[in-house]
Amino acid sequence: MTEQSAPEELTYYERVGGHETFVKLVHEFYLGVAGDPPLREMYPEEDLGPAEVRLRMFLEQYWGGPKTYSETRGHPRLRMRHFPYRITPTQRDRWLHHMNAAIDTLDLAPMDEELMRGYMAHAAHFMINAEDE
Ligand code: HEM
């Protein structure tokens, strides 16, 4: 009798389309940021390209893809890395608005979409480090 091998479990990263999906997600997100002055002003670099790559690598790693983020940037410690920026509830809402608009462009399966939106809402809230005036 031959043994049946169980089908390999796909990671979330693979299931939603891998690298191309994350490239699109983060690119759409930064198009939104670029067009939103109060948010755009927080980003120190004139070119948003490098920030786009860092966020993309982080998200790919988080969802089970390549570990390039940690290999090039070290431990994420995201809350600490955001201390130089004044992230208020209003800025959180702006960030999340553009992220949700970017997720809208992806055409994910309903369950995957819910997972992604839930994670982003939680992560963005966690980054708040200042109150609105
Ligand atoms: C809540 C509102 C947020 C604001 C206003 C914000 C703003 C910023 C700014 C200004 C930077 C510096 C640009 C750079 O050098 O890359 C940055 C970096 C970064 N952010 Fe955010 N961020 C927010 C939330 C988040 C969330 C929720 C995540 C992850 C899910 C995230 C992931 C990252 C990553 C990975 C970097 C690059 C860190 C590094 O390796 O240097 N951010 N963010």
Using the mean position of ligand 1's atoms as its centre, give its distance from the Cα of residue 109 in Å. Answer: 26
- The predicted-structure confidence for 46-76, as pLDDT tens digits, reads as follows 999 999 999 999 999 999 999 999 999 999 9
pLDDT at residue number 72: 98
* Residue 34 confidence (pLDDT) above 70: yes
Q: What is the pLDDT of residues 6-28, one digit of tens each?
A: 667 899 999 999 999 999 999 99
- Helical ranges in the chain per DSSP H: 12-15, 18-34, 37-40, 49-62, 68-73, 78-81, 89-104, 110-126
Atom of ligand 1 nearest to the CA of 127: 1
Expressed in angstroms and rounded, the spacing between residue 85 Cα and the centre of ligand 1 is 9
Domain range list for the chain: 13-126
Confirm or deny that 125 is annotated as ligand binding. Answer: yes
pTM of the model: 0.93
DSSP 3-state assignment of 47?
A: coil
Question: What homologous superfamily is domain 13-126 in, according to CATH?
Answer: Globins (1.10.490.10)
Question: Residue 3 — very low, low, confident or very high, per pLDDT cuts 50/70/90?
Answer: low
